[in-house]
Amino acid sequence: MVKNLPELKVQYIKGVGPRKAELLAKLGIRSVWDAMMHFPMRYEDRRNIRDIRDTRAGEHETVSGDVISSSLKNIKRGLKIFELSVSDGTGLIKGKWFNQPYLKKIFKTGRKVVLSGAVKYGWRGAGLEMENPVYEFIGDSDDPLVHMGRIVPVYRTTENLSPKQLRGVLFNILRAHGADVQDTVPGEILKRNGLPGLPESIQGAHFPGPDEDLGQLNAWRTDYQRRVSFDEFFMLELGLAVLKQGKLRERGISFNPDGKLVDKLLASLPFTLTTAQQRVFNEILSDMKSPYPAHRLIQGDVGSGKTVVALMAMLGAVECGYQAALMAPTEILARQHYLNVRGMAEGLGLKIALLTGSAREKPIEEIASGGIDIVVGTHALIQEGVNFKNLGLAVIDEQHRFGVMQRAVLRKKALNPDILVMTATPIPRTLAMTLYGDLDCSVLDEMPPGRTPVKTMLFTESDKQKVYEIISEEVASGGRVYVVYPVIEESDKTPLRSAILGEEALKKRFPELKVSLIHGRIKPAERETVMQEFKGGNIDILVSTTVIEVGVDVPEASLMLIVHAERFGLSQLHQLRGRVGRGSRRSGCLLLAYGPLGEEARRRLDVMTETGDGFRIAEEDLDIRGPGEFMGTRQSGIPGLRVANLVRDAGLLEPARREAFSLIEADPELKGAPELREALEKFWHGKIELFKTA
């Protein structure tokens, strides 16, 4: 860059003093570059300046003329009206502002102004007028109009900084420094993707030319806008490519499993693998055989059979004399995985252990001595003091909140083990590319046979009797029921129905049934007992909070009631629903919503009743919530996207990724593009060290 725009403070810009600088800081604008990256949220068409005699009531018009007269009137206490007459030689129009007496000083008679606003008829045939129009003075110089006579940008702003002021600041900044913007993206990449240069793109996205299409602009589809979004994706993917390339240069374990344990396991299972399971296992296997530390994401909807695949991979490591670990996000899940794995691997003669924070006996010494083959646990596994003799493979389950940086910590913990990340929340492709962009990806896109789709129905409070009837019939015919509440207990802050009161009510309503309760404040061991009772059939109705959200496996559970369904996010509803329909029994899910429902809640619930397809649900969720909210992206260690939008600009992500990865493959340290390398390090600054100085 000619001038270092990210380091150039915005307060040295013409028209920005310390006070405005403070307000701008509230918007995250500190440097000139920050300001340039603060793009309009929409555009307004103020191109046509109309003759005053041609303006029509009911239309939004822009006119220009001389101030003929003005007056400030005190109508009554607390109401002052400033009125202005403007003439352009074809006619006269009034401007009216309420309680802005200072305008009297600004609008001197004879000044040339432009007004823009909705036109209406004044009181008692007083002619045409505009209430609170936007205004701009035409100076004596040849300065172009900023706020009128063009397509104007409208910015998200903050209190005490008007959209107009902010527009003025941006205009000055671009005028002073627009030409200093340096384009670091190689020209061939731009050419291949039909993208214009960066300086003109930034300019054009802020202050579009007169021939642009307003609809295209507001949809963020012009070439200039696309270029700006492309850059952000490109920097993001370039960083991920460097991370991945760096990993490829590290040495990992080259496994050479003989398949004996895996064969034994498969022979003992009451089912055969689906084609998808077989394929994903082969992908994992070829990772394991390679000499590089593998990092693979296994995506599969709830119930697609990830656990078996993970176990097969772990057995592969054990066959080669290494240890394997399986890490789950909660104690319940860790215990369940432990029981599962132990159950399946029973006849294989392996030492399998559980390690959680609250476990009384911690097999720390056996883990260190190598006496244990497979450890299942929680985050306790990666805490200090836990050392493996030779960890070869780590499987991380359900870790969509586990980002790039945390994975880096885990890698340092052991001698570059292979890492598998399993997630049951299907992630839309676009998001997977950013969240897990440095990983290889496998998808379990096929359900084991014999599953029936979960019939999902929506009820409101007035249908409650019907809901009770369905529950009662389900239990009577041998089914088991989950009832999920959003909170453990009632409070003043959240007037929601709670699990604790829900349990009481259900016990009263169904005195003949066994009703039990679990939630996050109940001790893990106790929770486990309750879960086992439910699994064993000693409990008919299990009332709970979202502690059962992930992974808990009770194939006999055939009905779920979600109370306050309107309160849950789409992905969460899908996760919850995945707890039923895991056996051969026909299953159902009842969504009980308390109104009045907002439009968004309505859409979420409709999607749930329409489809069981996890990927479709994930796409909808991303669309509804936006990428920032989706699954806590912010914690993932990915630089925030300021301009690009994963939904709106989805089509740009793939080319950006392709270009970034092929560039890094050809030139891993960007020796041929030092400016790009510098820009890249700035983009990722403080997030992760991209280029290690070896």
Point out which span in 141-149, 462-470, 471-479, 545-553 binds Mg ion (CB under 5 A): 545-553
274 binds, among Mg ion, ligand ADP, none (CB under 5 to 8 A by kind): ligand ADP
Residue closer to ligand ADP (CB basis): 98 or 271: 271
Dihedral over Cα of 336, 338, 341, 344: its sign: negative
The span from the CA of 532 to the CA of 543, in Å, is 14
Residues 6+ apart with CB under 8 A from 183: 190, 197, 198, 199
Q: Which does 271 bind (CB under 5 to 8 A by kind): ligand ADP, Mg ion, none?
A: ligand ADP
Q: Parallel, antiparallel, or unpaired for β 515-518 and 440-444?
A: unpaired
Task: Report the partner that residue 304 touches, choosing among Mg ion, ligand ADP, none (CB closer than 5 to 8 A by kind).
Answer: ligand ADP
Q: Which tokens sit at 600?
A: 């968004």
Nearer to ligand ADP, 306 or 527 (CB): 306
Spatial contact of 72 and 82, defined as CB atoms under 8 Å apart: yes
Q: In this complex, which beta carbon is closest to ligand ADP, that of residue 423 or of residue 456?
A: 423
Our finding on whether 300 is near Mg ion (CB under 5 A) is: no
The residue of the chain with the least Cβ separation from ligand ADP equals 305
**Nearer to ligand ADP (CB atom), residue 553 or residue 621:** 553
Q: Which of 65, 257, 551, 655 binds Mg ion (CB under 5 A)?
A: 551
Q: How far is the CB of 302 from ligand ADP (least distance, A)?
A: 5
Least separation in angstroms between residue 333's CB and ligand ADP is 10
Residues lying near ligand ADP in the complex (CB under 6 A) are found at: 271, 273-274, 277, 300, 302-308, 424, 448, 553, 555, 582
Cα 177 → chain centroid = 33
CA distance 541 to 506: 9
Q: How far is the CB of 387 from ligand ADP (least distance, A)?
A: 28
Residue 330 lies near Mg ion (rule: CB under 5 A): no
Q: Which is nearer to ligand ADP, 340 or 472 (CB)?
A: 340
Q: Tokens 């021939």 sit at which residue?
A: 211
Q: Which residue, judged by CB position, is nearest to Mg ion in the bound state?
A: 551
Residue 481: which region, alpha, beta or left (left: phi > 0; alpha: psi -120 to 50)? beta
- Token code pair at residue 379: 């985050």
- Chain-centroid distance of CA 626 in Å reads 6
Token pair for 156: 């998200």
Q: How far is the CB of 578 from ligand ADP (least distance, A)?
A: 7
Nearer to ligand ADP, 312 or 592 (CB): 312
Which range, of 134-142, 490-498, 547-555, 586-594, touches Mg ion by CB under 5 A?
547-555
Contact with Mg ion (CB under 5 A) among 307, 378, 399, 434? 307
Q: Is 245 helix (H, G, I), strand (E, B) or coil?
A: helix
Shortest separation between residue 324's beta carbon and ligand ADP, angstroms: 16
Q: Which stretch binds Mg ion (CB under 5 A): 21-29, 132-140, 306-314, 380-388?
A: 306-314
- CA distances 481 to 543, 560, 582, Å, are 8, 6, 13
User: Could you tell me where the beta strands, DSSP code E, fall in 535-636?
Assistant: 541-544, 557-563, 588-593
Which of ligand ADP, Mg ion, none is residue 302 near (CB under 5 to 8 Å by kind)? ligand ADP
CB of 300 to ligand ADP, least distance (A): 5
Contact of residue 20 among ligand ADP, Mg ion, none (CB under 5-8 Å per partner type): none
3-state SS of 280-334 is: HHHHHHHHHHCCCCCEEEEEECCCCCHHHHHHHHHHHHHHCCCEEEEECCCHHHH
Phi and psi of 220, rounded to 5°? 60, 50
Contact positions vs Mg ion (CB under 5 A) = 307, 551
